[in-house]
């Protein structure tokens, strides 16, 4: 790898780290935000729903927004969001999560589209950085709160400085790309029939212009939906199912994969039951980091295999939660790590397959649009998890395992 490519890889690694680290920290703090009496999927829902909607709408408008304008929006949304998340009041905290989620979704679309210009070097850097975000976010949060006993509010506030790293975007070699993401499509609002003398449309011209604008918007919408349809089966559906299964494990099942703290063989840093949940999150993110960072060594083109394996992991996790088959946390910790490996491999291989298989003129659109899929899977998992976690916990309580109700 040449020095220029190494620099690009580094920049995209930082972008991936910063864009995802706040999302990860918020999920790691879910037990602290809602406590033991509310489902952790409530935090997941607030953390993914805004990101999903921004990704869903992005294909219809994002090509009109300059990259540099997007970057400034990301910084403002992320900093303000994390500041509000640090508040103890749940409504304020959830508002902050929504802002951070908007930033995460908008940022993912933006930087994935940039990899269209920087090719596999940029995508590898981005993927590894997002994996590193999971590891660093969950690991540092566990270090701060479980090992160093730093208050949750202070720990969350520390992360508000990270979004300023997005300023490295302006260090990219601008000669290699235009910061205004031009599109061959015509603007939505391109009124014709203006009076050349006054620049004020006559009544008839205004009516014609309105019809023309409506027609253009309709054609643009239909054309965009047609391009999205081509991406569903080969890329979006397998990515959606993988994320659905893994986030059901992470946010609905793993909070109930608990063990009595006083028994022998427990890790030394399991002081409270919430420490088990935070540890699972860290191990999951470690697996994600490893697989996203080694995609160039282990390529996977049959994406549905990863979906099937992740579905099997979900079944095993639910069986453990319901029947308490294993009485040691170590096998479960290995399962969570393996789950992260599959999730990270699915993400990076999906976008590498797009770079390989999608035509150059549609590649930028594909890279930005397929990111809808992972958020959609997480969103479904959040909705299902609102009922699944309480059901598992209720069964455990009736089975004389009340640990899911304790801190």
pLDDT digits (tens, 9 = 90+) for 306-346: 999 999 999 999 999 999 999 999 999 999 999 999 998 99
Highest mean pLDDT among 190-204, 205-219, 368-382: 368-382
pLDDT in tens, 114-128: 888 887 888 889 988
Confidence tier at 187 by pLDDT (50, 70, 90): very low
Q: What is the mean predicted confidence (pLDDT) over 237-255?
A: 93
Q: Is residue 194 part of a domain?
A: no
Highest mean pLDDT among 14-18, 54-58, 211-215: 14-18
Q: What is the pLDDT of residue 262?
A: 80
Q: What is the mean predicted confidence (pLDDT) over 28-34?
A: 77
Tell whether the model's pLDDT for residue 367 goes beyond 60: yes
Q: Is residue 76 part of a domain?
A: yes
Q: Is residue 214 part of a domain?
A: no
Confidence tier at 181 by pLDDT (50, 70, 90): very low
Q: What is the pLDDT of residue 372?
A: 85
Confidence tier at 368 by pLDDT (50, 70, 90): confident
What is the total count of domains within the chain? 1
Q: What is the pLDDT of residue 185?
A: 37
Determine the Cα–Cα distance for residues 312 and 30; give it in Å rounded to an integer: 25
Q: Is residue 176 part of a domain?
A: no
Q: Is residue 219 part of a domain?
A: no
Higher confidence at residue 179 or residue 284?
284
Tell whether the model's pLDDT for residue 74 goes beyond 50: yes
Nearest by Cα to 346 from 377, 369, 384, 382: 377
DSSP 296: T
Tell whether the model's pLDDT for residue 197 goes beyond 70: no
Tell whether the model's pLDDT for residue 191 goes beyond 60: no
Tell whether the model's pLDDT for residue 188 goes beyond 60: no
Confidence tier at 99 by pLDDT (50, 70, 90): very high
| Cβ contact 238:307 at 8 Å | yes
Q: Is residue 271 part of a domain?
A: yes
Minimum mean pLDDT range among 263-267, 312-316, 388-392: 263-267
Q: In percent, how much of the chain has pLDDT > 90?
A: 30
Q: How far is CA 121 from the centre of its chain?
A: 21
DSSP 180: S
Confidence tier at 238 by pLDDT (50, 70, 90): very high
Q: What is the pLDDT of residue 186?
A: 34
> CATH number, domain at 47?
1.20.1250.20
Per-chain mean pLDDT for the chain: 83
Higher confidence at residue 54 or residue 181?
54
Q: What is the pLDDT of residue 35?
A: 72
Confidence tier at 182 by pLDDT (50, 70, 90): very low
Q: Is residue 48 part of a domain?
A: yes
* 3-state class (DSSP) for residue 372: helix
Tell whether the model's pLDDT for residue 261 goes beyond 90: no
Confidence tier at 205 by pLDDT (50, 70, 90): low
Q: Is residue 184 part of a domain?
A: no
* 3-state class (DSSP) for residue 63: helix
Nearest by Cα to 355 from 298, 306, 296, 309: 296
Per-residue H/E/C for 197-215 = CCCCCCHHHHHHHHHHHHH
pLDDT in tens, 141-177: 878 887 788 888 888 888 888 999 999 998 875 545 5
Burial class (CB in 10 A: 0-12, 13-18, 19+), 118: buried
Q: Is the pTM of this model over 0.95?
A: no
Q: In percent, how much of the chain has pLDDT > 70?
A: 87
From residue 359, alpha-carbon distances to 116, 227, 353, 354 in Å are 11, 12, 11, 9
Domain residue limits at 360 = 3-171+231-405
């Amino acid at each position: 790898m040449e020095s220029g490519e190494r620099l690009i890889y580094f920049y995209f690694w930082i972008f991936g780290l910063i864009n995802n680290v706040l999302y990860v920290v918020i999920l790691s703090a879910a037990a602290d935000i809602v406590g033991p009496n509310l489902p952790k999927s409530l935090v997941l829902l607030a953390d993914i729903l805004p990101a999903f909607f921004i990704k869903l709408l992005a294909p219809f408008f994002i090509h009109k927004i300059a990259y540099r304008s997007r970057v400034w929006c990301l910084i403002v949304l992320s900093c303000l969001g994390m500041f509000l998340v640090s508040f103890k009041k749940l409504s304020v905290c959830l508002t902050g999560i929504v802002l951070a989620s908007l930033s995460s979704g908008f940022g993912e679309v933006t930087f994935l589209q940039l990899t269209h210009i920087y090719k596999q070097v940029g995508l590898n850097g981005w993927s590894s950085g997002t994996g590193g975000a999971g590891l660093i976010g969950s690991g540092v949060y566990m270090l701060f709160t479980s090992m160093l006993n730093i208050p949750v509010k202070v720990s969350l506030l520390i992360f508000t400085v990270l979004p300023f790293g997005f300023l490295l975007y302006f260090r990219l070699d601008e000669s290699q790309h235009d910061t205004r993401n031009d599109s061959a499509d015509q603007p939505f609002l391109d009124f014709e029939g203006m009076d050349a003398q006054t620049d004020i449309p006559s009544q008839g011209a205004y009516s014609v212009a309105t019809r023309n604008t409506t027609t253009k918007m309709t054609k643009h919408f239909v054309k965009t939906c047609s391009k999205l349809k081509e991406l569903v089966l080969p890329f979006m559906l397998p990515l959606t199912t993988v994320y659905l299964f893994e986030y059901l494990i992470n946010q609905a099942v793993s909070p109930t994969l608990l063990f009595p703290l006083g028994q022998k063989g427990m890790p030394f840093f399991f002081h409270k039951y919430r420490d088990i949940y935070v540890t699972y999150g860290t191990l999951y993110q470690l697996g994600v980091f490893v697989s996203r960072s080694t995609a160039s060594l282990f390529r996977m083109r049959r994406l549905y295999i990863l979906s099937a394996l992740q579905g099997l992991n979900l079944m095993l996790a639910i069986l453990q939660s319901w029947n308490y088959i294993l009485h040691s946390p170590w096998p479960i910790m290995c399962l969570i790590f393996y789950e992260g490996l599959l999730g990270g491999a699915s993400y990076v291989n999906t976008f590498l397959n797009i770079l390989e298989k999608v035509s150059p003129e549609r590649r930028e659109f594909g890279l930005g649009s397929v990111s809808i899929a992972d958020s959609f899977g997480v969103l479904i998992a959040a909705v299902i998890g609102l009922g699944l976690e309480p059901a598992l916990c209720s069964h455990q309580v009736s089975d004389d395992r009340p640990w899911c109700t304790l801190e």
